[in-house]
Amino acid sequence: MSGPVSEHESPLQIPALSQAAFLLDFDGTLVDIAPTPESVIVPETLPQVLRKLRALCGDALAVVSGRPIDQIDHFLGDIPFAVAGEHGIAIRHRPGGEIEKAALPVVPPLWLAEAQKLTDAWPGTRLEHKQAGFVLHYRGAPEAGNILKKEASNWLTSAKGAFHLQAAKMAWEVRPTGIDKGYAVAALMEHFPFAGRKPVFVGDDVTDEDGIAAAKRLGGVGLRIPTNFANPAALRAWLSALVKEEG
């Protein structure tokens, strides 16, 4: 185990890159949080750092995001070898490979209709559709956070545990129960080029805790912003130093 120091000046113990697999969250981890999901900016130097990292760890670089896979493709193109989207509901294990989709219950159309009405009624809020759930964003109207939560909690009382409400960053996400980033990490680690390596998972949010726990369970390391890195810029600087040191 080795590695450069984090911005907090404590040396981070991670496996040698020749034995490591990197599984990285996207929003709030690789890129800074932005006012809207579309307005995220991928810093100019990040693609090159990630490509070097992928080369140094034998292609074992994955992005594990709450976003659908096509959005990660839009921002990062062919940089990661594998992508897990929607917190593990959709996984593409290799470049150009088929997307493996978990069999999940369909979101009741009534909830979607109610969610649309609710977000139409609150300027600054918005509804994001996902394959097996949806997100109520309130970054543009923080005062609406509580009402969105209350309404979504009411819909979920009829779900009999099939769906749950997940707190996200200035958002509430209605998610199917049973699949999380821990599942995604375990599934990715079963396949080439990840299998046999030690996972290094980095995230920033509550949903990343499952990924962190899974990485540790599998003999690797789980790191979190702001515990191990002050912010995404500090993580990017650490990754840049890591690839320079070993490159």
- Phi first, then psi: what are they for 79, rounded to 5°? -65, -55
Catalytic residue positions?
25
64 vs 103: CA distance, rounded Å = 19
Nearer to ligand L263DTV3, 66 or 193 (CB): 66
Q: Which of residues 154-213 bind ligand L263DTV3 (CB under 6 A)?
A: 168-171, 205, 207
Question: Which tokens go with 146?
Answer: 């509580």
221 vs 32: CA distance, rounded Å = 22
Q: State how beta strands 171-176 and 90-92 pair.
A: unpaired
Nearer to ligand L263DTV3, 80 or 220 (CB): 80
Peptide bond into 109 cis (omega under 30): no
**Contact pick of 51, 139, 191, 216 for ligand L263DTV3 (by CB under 6 A):** 139
**Contact pick of 3, 15, 58, 66 for ligand L263DTV3 (by CB under 6 A):** 66
54 vs 247: CA distance, rounded Å = 11
Q: How many residues bind ligand L263DTV3 (CB under 6 A)?
A: 23
| 3-state SS, residue 91 | strand
Nearer to ligand L263DTV3, 27 or 151 (CB): 27
| 3-state SS, residue 81 | coil
- Phi first, then psi: what are they for 222, rounded to 5°? -120, 125
CB of 194 to ligand L263DTV3, least distance (A): 18
In order of 70, 87, 163, 225, the CA distances from 25 in angstroms are 15, 10, 22, 11
Nearer to ligand L263DTV3, 28 or 176 (CB): 28
If one asks whether residue 65 binds ligand L263DTV3 (CB under 6 A), the answer comes out as yes
CB of 211 to ligand L263DTV3, least distance (A): 9
If one asks whether residue 121 binds ligand L263DTV3 (CB under 6 A), the answer comes out as no
Whose tokens are 């003999």? That residue is 219
Nearer to ligand L263DTV3, 25 or 151 (CB): 25
Binding mask 69-108 for ligand L263DTV3 (x = CB under 6 A): ----------------------------------------
Q: Which residues pair with 90 in a beta bridge?
A: 85, 101
Binding mask 24-53 for ligand L263DTV3 (x = CB under 6 A): -xxxx----xxxxx--x-------------
225 vs 29: CA distance, rounded Å = 7
Q: Which residues are at the interface with ligand L263DTV3 (CB under 6 A)?
A: 25-28, 33-37, 40, 65-67, 128, 135, 137, 139, 168-171, 205, 207
